[in-house]
Chains A and B, each alone.
Chain A
Amino acid sequence: MPVATADRVKPRRLPGVDGVWVAIGADSVIFAILFMTFMQDRLKDPALFEASRHSLNMNFGGLDTLILLTSSWSVALAIQALKRDLVERVPRYLLGGALTGLLFMMSKSIEYFQKFAEGLTPATNPFYMWYFTLTGIHLLHVVFGTSLLTYVWVKSRRGAYSSLSRVVPECVASYWHLVDLLWIVIFPLLYLMKAA
Chain B
Amino acid sequence: MSVLRERVTLVWLGLVVLTCVTTWGLSKDLFSPAVAVVGIFLIAALKVRFVMLDFMELRNAPIPVRVAFEAWPILVAAMILGFWFATGA
Show the binding face of A for B, using Cβ within 8 Å: 10, 12-15, 21, 25, 28, 32, 35-36, 39-40, 42-43, 46, 58-59, 61-62, 65-66, 69-70, 72-73, 75-77, 79-81, 84, 86, 89, 173-174, 177-178, 180-181, 184-185, 187-189, 191-196
Contacts and interface: CB of A to CB of B under 8 A. Distances in A.
Given A185-B76, A193-B37, A46 B51 contact: no
23 contacts: A12-B62, A13-B61, A14-B65, A21-B65, A32-B79, A39-B84, A42-B83, A69-B15, A69-B19, A70-B12, A72-B12, A72-B51, A73-B12, A84-B1, A177-B52, A178-B56, A184-B44, A184-B48, A188-B22, A189-B80, A194-B36, A196-B34, A196-B37
Is the interface on chain B under 10, 10 to 19, 20 to 34, or 35 or more residues? 35 or more
Given A184-B44, A195-B88, A39 B68 contact: no
Contacts, number: 140
Interface of B: 1, 3, 6, 8-9, 11-12, 15-16, 19-20, 22-24, 26-27, 33-34, 36-37, 40-41, 44, 47-48, 51-52, 54-58, 60-63, 65, 68-69, 72-73, 75-76, 79-80, 83-89
B40 A188 contact: yes
Contact of A86 (B1, B83, B87, B89): B1
Judged by DSSP, the binding face of B is helix
B23 A196 contact: no
Given A15-B56, A69-B15, A39 B83 contact: yes
